């Protein structure tokens, strides 16, 4: 039986993500989305399959945070053993019936000055895709704690969102687990190697970088922070989205309250 509709698209995207990640590792990250598309389509052509659009490959690479690494040194990461991991409770159910029911969170890296690194941690609400809490800093280690605590503090006492993250070391220490338990929140984690499991926040990173970050050069952390503050204020209050009936995230929240 041939699958149609959203189920078929989901399966196709999953297969494409696996092909993209495999090819990206195979070439040590030197291919951008155009070469990835050409290589995948050449293989699909031999297998008698339809070609895929480069925009689709670009979108999936943005979700997986993959880009060509030409002229950049590959980073060396030391993997630590996590103190705990959680199941993928969210299971890609990205819609929500009300605010503060499902959140997802992640950290992304940015550059400023002469190649200096900064890290942005944020939480997005699945209901209206609004940014609930965020923080930018020099170091990655404690950002997630500084992001989750103010987000929890603004909740009503009877509200406990599900929080979804990847399995990064920032989200697996016992201290983070204690914060979740105290707030009576369920922690959900992406499966290993499945960046698409955290789709909404990954999609926001792509939007932020395309519409703000890639358009400018930032000489200082303060300049980068000002740009991010300005953009998120605009995104939450003025950036209209078709999926929100042509309203901004917070405009949608007010209208549907």
- Looking at the fold, whether 149 and 27 belong to one and the same domain comes out as no
Residues across the chain: 257
Pairing of strands 162-165, 116-125: unpaired
Domain boundary among 40, 63, 86: 63
CATH number of the domain within which 128 lies: 3.30.420.10
Q: Is residue 140 domain-shared with residue 228, that is, in the same domain?
A: yes
Residue 174 lies in a domain: yes
Q: In what order do the strands lie in the sheet with 162-165?
A: 131-137, 116-125, 102-112, 162-165, 187-189
- Report the pLDDT value the prediction gives residue 70, as an integer from 0 to 100: 56
Q: Which domain holds residue 37?
A: 5-63
Confidence (pLDDT) at 1: 41
Instruction: Tell me what pLDDT residue 140 has.
Output: 83
Q: What does each of the 257 residues of the chain score in pLDDT, given as a tens digit?
A: 444 456 677 788 888 988 898 888 888 787 888 889 989 998 888 888 889 998 889 888 888 878 776 544 445 445 556 678 899 999 989 999 999 999 999 999 999 998 899 999 999 999 999 999 999 998 887 899 999 999 999 999 889 999 999 998 899 999 999 999 999 999 999 988 788 889 999 999 999 998 999 989 999 999 999 999 999 999 999 999 989 999 999 999 999 87
**Would you say residue 69 lies in a domain?**
no
Q: What is the pLDDT of residue 32?
A: 85
Q: Quick one: 29 and 110 in the same domain?
A: no
Residues 221 and 160 in one domain: yes
Residue 159 lies in a domain: yes
Question: pLDDT tens digits for 105-156?
Answer: 999 999 999 889 999 999 999 999 999 999 999 888 789 999 999 999 999 9
Q: Is residue 22 part of a domain?
A: yes
Cβ contacts of 186 within 8 Å, gap of 6 or more: 89, 160, 162, 163, 180
Residue 20 dihedral angles phi and psi, to the nearest 5°: -65, -50
Listed residue (122, 147, 135) closest to 249, CA to CA: 122
Domain count, the chain: 2
Is residue 209 assigned to a domain? yes
Q: Is residue 185 included in any domain, yes or no?
A: yes
Report yes or no on 91 lying in a domain.
no
Do 108 and 49 lie in one domain? The reply is no
Q: Are 37 and 110 contained in the same domain? A: no
Both 151 and 241 in one domain: the answer is yes
**Residue 182 lies inside a defined structural domain of this protein:** yes
Q: Is residue 118 domain-shared with residue 52, that is, in the same domain?
A: no
The first and second tokens of residue 53, run together, are: 């659009």
- The CA–CA distances, whole Å, from 29 to 57, 75, 95 equal 15, 12, 33
Of 16, 45, 63, at which residue does a domain stop? 63
Give the per-residue pLDDT at 73: 47
The whole-number pLDDT of residue 250 equals 96
119 and 174 fall within a common domain: yes
Whether 145 and 251 map to the same domain: the answer is: yes
Q: Does residue 124 sit in the same domain as residue 23?
A: no
Co-location of 29 and 137 in the same domain: no
């Amino acid at each position: 039986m041939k699958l149609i509709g959203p189920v078929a698209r989901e399966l196709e995207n999953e297969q494409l993500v696996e092909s993209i990640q495999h090819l990206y590792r195979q070439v040590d990250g030197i291919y951008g989305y155009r070469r990835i598309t050409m290589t995948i389509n050449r293989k699909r052509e031999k297998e008698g399959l339809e070609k895929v659009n480069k925009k689709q490959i670009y979108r999936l690479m943005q979700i997986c945070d993959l880009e060509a690494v030409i002229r950049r040194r590959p980073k060396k990461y030391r993997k630590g053993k996590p103190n705990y991991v959680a199941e993928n409770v969210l299971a890609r159910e990205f819609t929500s019936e009300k605010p503060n029911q499902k959140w997802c969170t992640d950290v992304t890296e940015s550059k400023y000055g002469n190649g200096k690194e900064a890290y942005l941690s944020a939480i997005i609400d699945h209901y209206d895709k609004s940014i609930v809490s965020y923080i930018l800093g020099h170091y990655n280690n404690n950002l997630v704690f500084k992001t989750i605590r103010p987000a929890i503090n603004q909740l009503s006492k009877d509200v406990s969102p599900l929080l979804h993250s990847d399995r990064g070391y920032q989200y697996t220490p016992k201290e983070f687990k204690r914060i979740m338990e105290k707030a009576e929140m369920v922690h959900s984690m992406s499966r290993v190697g499945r960046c698409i499991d955290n789709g909404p926040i990954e999609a926001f990173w792509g939007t932020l970088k395309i519409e703000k970050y890639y358009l400018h050069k930032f000489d200082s952390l303060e300049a980068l922070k000002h740009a991010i503050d300005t953009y998120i204020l605009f995104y939450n209050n003025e950036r209209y989205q078709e999926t929100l009936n042509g309203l901004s995230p917070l405009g949608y929240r007010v209208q549907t309250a």
